Structure 1
Amino acid sequence: MSLRAIVRSLLLAPLAIALPVPGHNDEKPAAFFLAGDSTTAVQSTGGGGWGDGFLRTLKSPAFGVNKGHNGATTVSFVKGGDWAQVLNLVKNATDNYNVYVTIQFGHNDQKPANNVSIPQFKTNLASLASDVQSLGATPLLFTSLSRRNFNGNELIQDLGDVVNATREVAAASHIKLIDLNAASRKYVQAIGSADADKYNLVEGDRTHLNTHGSDVFGRIVADLLLGSDRSLGRWIGRNVTLSHLIAEGVYA
């Protein structure tokens, strides 16, 4: 199988089809505003995700802002004012950019202490996506980045409820789905527990990513987006070597 076929098989299969967005102009550069929890957020004492690693793949004049918030749920992200900040970024960018808003929640919504039911989670995701569309931008619903906990040689799937809910919202609302959970699980399972631990933010933290992990999983995100929309190739840089290692299931 060719490298191109391998990469396509990994990255294109999980994606849903989305409707075109009125007002998008292929001549405008892309702008990405990232909304989510600590598995999107910048590397810090309390968290760190794929967000900054993905933003480092962008080619100027495309740009992005990582608004991931440690501990956030679909409820707290709105109530705490983070979502208003994202929408303000969208409003200020749509004249000159094709704007994309990544929406990835679930890690904290599924925790019983946060009191967010699956029906409420789905309603909240649909509402966030609708807000983005109302401003002429493109919402991208992301399934949650995989945790890296193993039982023997098998990666544990402990995000199934929120992952399935996100897929259902994307299908019902005709919103583009970026199935990061499927892609990250495939890669983590392939490299195994010992190598997966090399991405831990700190020893024993198999949820958050260190800077190198952000670059690797940010590359997975970049390739998923490139696979979903060829026009983004003008604004998202490629790394053939890293993409090949990921597609082959080799630690990078």
Structure 2
Amino acid sequence: MKSSITIYLAGDSTVQTYGTSEEPQAGWGQYLDRYVDEAVSISNHAIGGRSSKTFITEGRLEAISSEMNETDYLLIQMGHNDSTKNKPERYTDPYTDYKQYVRQYIEQARRRKATPILITPVGRLHYVRKEFLADFGDYCNAMKEVAEEEKVELIDLMAKSIAYYSSIGYEKTAELFMISMNGTDCTHFTEKGAYMIAQLVAKEMKQLDDGISTYVTV
């Protein structure tokens, strides 16, 4: 018989759960429960505007750590806000302090005997000359380096999301983003977009070898 587990999410506005007053904007974390069985609870701590650094300095990682136990998982998607050099309070250099902060998430999970899983930043609607472009390249690479160095499972959500956008084309991809509602936002998802990204994440979880695949129903 499978044990009850909690999947904790640490991330930014593309992951967070939004209230009804903010519809149709949504984050993929609020739909992940659609793709796991009844033994799993999703605890979404993701919040907009946070980088790998400020999520920690505000005590949000510690709040997760205080609840985790050995049957749990911590999914970490950070990078969007780390890249904002004009906001030094949250900016991190990809190959130095970003990697150091990402390691802190791994260390906290392992200290609680939980399982960390790294997730590269999700792709934005960045379309140039009929091609979807992958942003945050250095942060994606740095996260992959940490995953290899620390022997942690990684979901390359940037690669998977860009491949998905390319498969359905620009018009259908635009419907996944809030630009389809307000004409400007190429970063945040509509409910439809968040639902599809959650499905991508779940499909990748299904391929992992750390036990979490047992709970995925996609």
The alpha-carbon distance between structure 1 residues 211 and 165, as it changes in their structure 2 partners (threshold 3 A), is same
1:214 to 194, 204, 216: 194
Counterpart secondary structure, 1:147? coil
Counterpart secondary structure, 2:175? helix
1:70 to 48, 71, 86: 48
Kindly, what percent of the aligned residue pairs are identical?
25
Counterpart secondary structure, 1:145? coil
Confirm or deny that 1:122 pairs with 2:95: no
Matched residues in 2 for 1:128 and 1:113: separation?
A: 25
Give the corresponding residue for 1:29: 4
Give the corresponding residue for 1:205: 185
Give the corresponding residue for 1:140: 117
How far is the alpha carbon of 1:121 from its aligned partner?
0.4
Matched residues in 1 for 2:210 and 2:58: separation?
A: 35
Unaligned runs of 5+ in 1: 1-25, 239-252
How far is the alpha carbon of 1:193 from its aligned partner?
1.5
Matched residues in 2 for 1:146 and 1:80: separation?
A: 26
Counterpart secondary structure, 1:112? coil
Counterpart secondary structure, 1:144? coil
- Say how many residue pairs are matched: 208
Letter in 2 for 1:55: D
Letter in 2 for 1:124: Y
Give the corresponding residue for 2:74: 101
Letter in 2 for 1:175: V
C-alpha contact (below 8 Å) 2:11/2:50 kept by paired residues: yes
C-alpha contact (below 8 Å) 2:206/2:214 kept by paired residues: no
Give the corresponding residue for 1:16: none
Matched residues in 2 for 1:104 and 1:53: separation?
A: 15
Matched residues in 1 for 2:60 and 2:212: separation?
A: 26
The TM-score normalised by the length of structure 2 is 0.88
Give the corresponding residue for 2:28: 50
- 1:81-128 CA-to-partner distances (Å, cap 9, x unmatched) read 2112211221xxx26xx2010011000001102332121101100111
The alpha-carbon distance between structure 1 residues 232 and 126, as it changes in their structure 2 partners (threshold 3 A), is closer
C-alpha contact (below 8 Å) 1:43/1:210 kept by paired residues: no
Give the corresponding residue for 1:246: none
C-alpha contact (below 8 Å) 2:9/2:76 kept by paired residues: yes
Give the corresponding residue for 1:9: none
Structure 1 stretch 176-185 or stretch 37-46: which is displaced more? 37-46
The alpha-carbon distance between structure 1 residues 234 and 228, as it changes in their structure 2 partners (threshold 3 A), is closer
How far is the alpha carbon of 1:59 from its aligned partner?
1.4
Higher RCO (CA < 8 A, seq sep 6+): 1
Matched residues in 1 for 2:139 and 2:210: separation?
A: 28
Matched residues in 2 for 1:230 and 1:160: separation?
A: 26
Letter in 2 for 1:117: D
Give the corresponding residue for 2:168: 191
The alpha-carbon distance between structure 1 residues 173 and 231, as it changes in their structure 2 partners (threshold 3 A), is closer
Give the corresponding residue for 2:146: 169
Matched residues in 2 for 1:230 and 1:112: separation?
A: 35
How far is the alpha carbon of 1:149 from its aligned partner?
1.3
Letter in 1 for 2:77: Q
Structure 1 stretch 142-151 or stretch 35-44: which is displaced more? 35-44
Matched residues in 1 for 2:33 and 2:83: separation?
A: 27
Matched residues in 1 for 2:66 and 2:212: separation?
A: 23
Counterpart secondary structure, 2:80? coil
Give the corresponding residue for 1:85: 63
